[in-house]
Amino acid sequence: MNAYSLRRRLMLRFAETPAIGIGMAFALLLASLGLAYHNEDQARAEKVREVQVQARVLAASLAGPLAFDDDAAAHEYIDALKASPDFVAVGAYGADGHLVAGFARAGEPLPRINRVGLPAVRGAELIVTAEVEQGGTRLGSVYLGAATEIWSRRAARYLGIAIVIIMACLLVAVLAAFYASVSAANRRLQAEIAGRQEAEEALHQSQKMEAMGQLTGGVAHDFNNLLMVASSGMELLERTTDPVRRDRLKEGIRQAIERGAKLTQQLLTFARRSPLTPQVLDVRARIRGLQDLLERSLREDIAVEFDFPDGLWPIEVDPSQLDVALLNIAINARDAMPEGGVICIGAHNHPAERDEGDMVHLSVRDTGAGIDPASIEKVFEPFYTTQSVGSGTGLGLSQVYGF
Amino acid sequence: MAHLTRLLAFAGLLTALSGRAAAADLPLEYAVKASYLYKFAPFVQWPPAAFESAIDPLTICIAGQDPFGKMLDDAVRGQRVNGHLIVVRHIDALRPGVACHILFAGSGAGAEELLHAVAHQPVLTVTDRSRGVAGGMIQFVMVNGRVRFMIDQGAAEESGVAISSKLLGLAVSVVR
């Protein structure tokens, strides 16, 4: 695991530096240099072989003229080679090693005495010598000087391909640098996305807290009422001895305490910081369970109605997010109805269309003032609010949108 | 008359001078011929039966009057052709046990007889026209003061001796 992550980090580091690309470009350059050297070497060996063959052919044809001092024939054979500009010097030597016939173009003159040896390069000349032999008898030797390609012409020949290779190397290096920079940018982007996600989560939490704040007022009032019921019940309990009345009072106190406990439970559940965990649930039961919480966050002059037909499909949703969204919308509706009114929460099945899946359509409707067309586009913007400073954050509906 | 006498005398002197010059040239001419005589060997192929073994010497037989003397012996000393050491023998008649590969027939009746005797044996016969002997497969001639040769390829083939085209190419004439 450790080794794996280390290797991964190393690879990342490599990807972010153009080292690999530059290395590849260098390797490419080296390979082409090697290839060029190899080619050059082979071409040279081939040239040597070629000239050696020509020297042997010349030696064979000169056997007779050298043996029988036929200078005219020797000249004829040698002059035949004059036609080729490749041969800069050709000489035929007798058995005693002295020059019999030959020619030398510009450059070094023919040696007076020929010494047969291995092919040699003298300046721009490849010199090949061969024995003239017939039937095992040495009759003389030949000397062949062939022009080799001069350095500058060879360089010119390689220049074109060298330019192509260098361009390719540059391209590889540039691509590698580009890839490295893209890779680095990608990593920064990933980090930024992670940061954004964190911030979004924090925002969600704060939105929840906002809803909590809204709730608190109603809940405190409710608790007060419940406590009032309980404490007055206790007082009455102490004053009376009638068992029937005492039982009724005890029942009333227990109910008040139970409602208080339930309320607390709901608040705790709501406030708990929980990640988005979708689960399959019955939307009707869930929203009905929310009724107490809704009533406490709304005013007495606002009634809540439910419109859930039978046979509603179960839905997959994060329950706490659904609660918060509904609460936010309900609070929004409450603020839109200062004179009081009705909030109607309804749902109906929405069968699949095109490539979407089956859905349940959930709607919240109020009897308030409505929203003017200019504002309707902005309702989901964070921090957009029509309320005065201090009475709202403008985050409620943006949470709904995020959900 | 006196004039004529002087002219004659001059002509005589000229003749004498040219004769001396020819005499001086003679050793050089024969040295060349001697070296050619053994240099023919690499260009000629004898049937395998001509040699008893691979290390058998290649024999140059001189029949009749020998114009070369020591020059030929000097020329062939240590020379080898296809591994065969070259030796020179002087003969006056064919004897069993003495194989000739090259026969040079100098002037003399015996020499011409020998030439006829080996006509159908694998022997390369060489004669010298300038010495008045003809009939060899290779005949020395003088062309522009240089030693050249004529080749009778038909006679050579008849006797089983193959002459290289390289040698044929150098001959002043080839009879097929």
Q: What is the predicted pLDDT for the residue at B12?
A: 41
| Residue with tokens 């399959």, as numbered in its chain | A280
A-chain residues near B167 (CB < 8 A)? 64
Name the DSSP letter for residue A388. P
B-chain residues near A65 (CB < 8 A)? 170
- CB-based burial label for B8 (10 Å; 0-12, 13-18, 19+): exposed
Nearest-neighbour CA in chain B from A46: distance (Å): 29
| Residue A86 touches partner B, C-beta closer than 8 Å | no
Name the DSSP letter for residue A38. H
pLDDT in tens, chain A (403 residues): 466 677 777 666 666 666 777 888 888 889 988 998 898 889 889 989 999 999 999 999 899 888 888 888 888 888 888 888 888 889 999 888 888 888 888 777 888 888 888 888 887 788 899 999 888 888 899 998 888 877 777 788 888 888 988 898 888 888 888 888 898 899 999 999 999 999 988 888 887 777 777 777 767 877 888 888 888 888 888 888 888 988 988 888 888 888 888 777 767 766 665 556 678 888 888 888 788 778 777 777 888 888 888 888 888 887 777 887 888 788 878 877 888 888 888 888 888 777 777 888 888 888 877 777 767 666 666 556 665 544 555 556 666 666 6
- Nearest-angstrom CA–CA distance, B94 and A68: 29
Is the C-alpha dihedral spanning B46, B51, B55, B56 positive or negative? Answer: negative
- Tens digit of pLDDT for each residue in B138-156? 999 988 888 899 999 888 8
A136–B169: do the CB atoms touch at under 8 Å? no
Which value, in Å, is the radius of gyration of the alpha carbons in chain A? Answer: 51
Residues B127, B133 contacting (CB under 8 angstroms): yes
Q: What is the predicted pLDDT for the residue at B2?
A: 46
- Nearest-angstrom CA–CA distance, B102 and B122: 9
Residues A172, A19 contacting (CB under 8 angstroms): no
Collect all residues with Cβ–Cβ distance below 8 Å to A62 and sequence separation of at least 6.
A74, A77, A78, A92, A132, A140, A142
The mean of the pLDDT values for chain B is: 79
A-chain residues near B82 (CB < 8 A)? 135-136
CA distances from A121 to A50, A117, A235, A292, A361 (A): 14, 12, 128, 107, 94
B-chain residues near A68 (CB < 8 A)? 36, 39, 148-149, 170
Q: For residue B150, which of A360, B103, B163, B158 has the smallest C-alpha distance? A: B163
Token pair belonging to B56: 């058998």
Nearest residue in chain A measured CA to CA from B169: A64
- Tens digit of pLDDT for each residue in A2-45? 666 777 776 666 666 667 778 888 888 899 889 988 988 898 89
- Nearest-angstrom CA–CA distance, B157 and B176: 9
Residues B129, B12 contacting (CB under 8 angstroms): no
Residues A119, A102 contacting (CB under 8 angstroms): no
Helix (H, G, I), strand (E, B) or coil at A241: coil
| Residue A21 touches partner B, C-beta closer than 8 Å | no
| Residue A73 touches partner B, C-beta closer than 8 Å | yes
- CB-based burial label for B95 (10 Å; 0-12, 13-18, 19+): exposed
A64–B43: do the CB atoms touch at under 8 Å? yes
Residues B150, B139 contacting (CB under 8 angstroms): yes
Nearest residue in chain B measured CA to CA from A72: B170
- More confident call, A98 vs B3: A98
- Tens digit of pLDDT for each residue in B7-40? 444 444 444 444 344 444 567 888 888 888 888 9
Q: What is the predicted pLDDT for the residue at B15?
A: 41
Q: Where are the alpha helices (DSSP H) in A282-369?
A: 283-289, 291-297, 319-336
- Tens digit of pLDDT for each residue in B95-123? 766 788 888 888 777 777 788 888 788 88
- Nearest-angstrom CA–CA distance, A397 and A384: 9
Q: What is the predicted pLDDT for the residue at A401?
A: 67
- More confident call, B162 vs A393: B162
- Nearest-angstrom CA–CA distance, B5 and B3: 5
Residues A140, A132 contacting (CB under 8 angstroms): yes
**B144, B166, B167: best mutation site toward chain A, by most A Cβ within 10 Å?**
B166
Residue B92 has pLDDT above 60, yes or no: yes
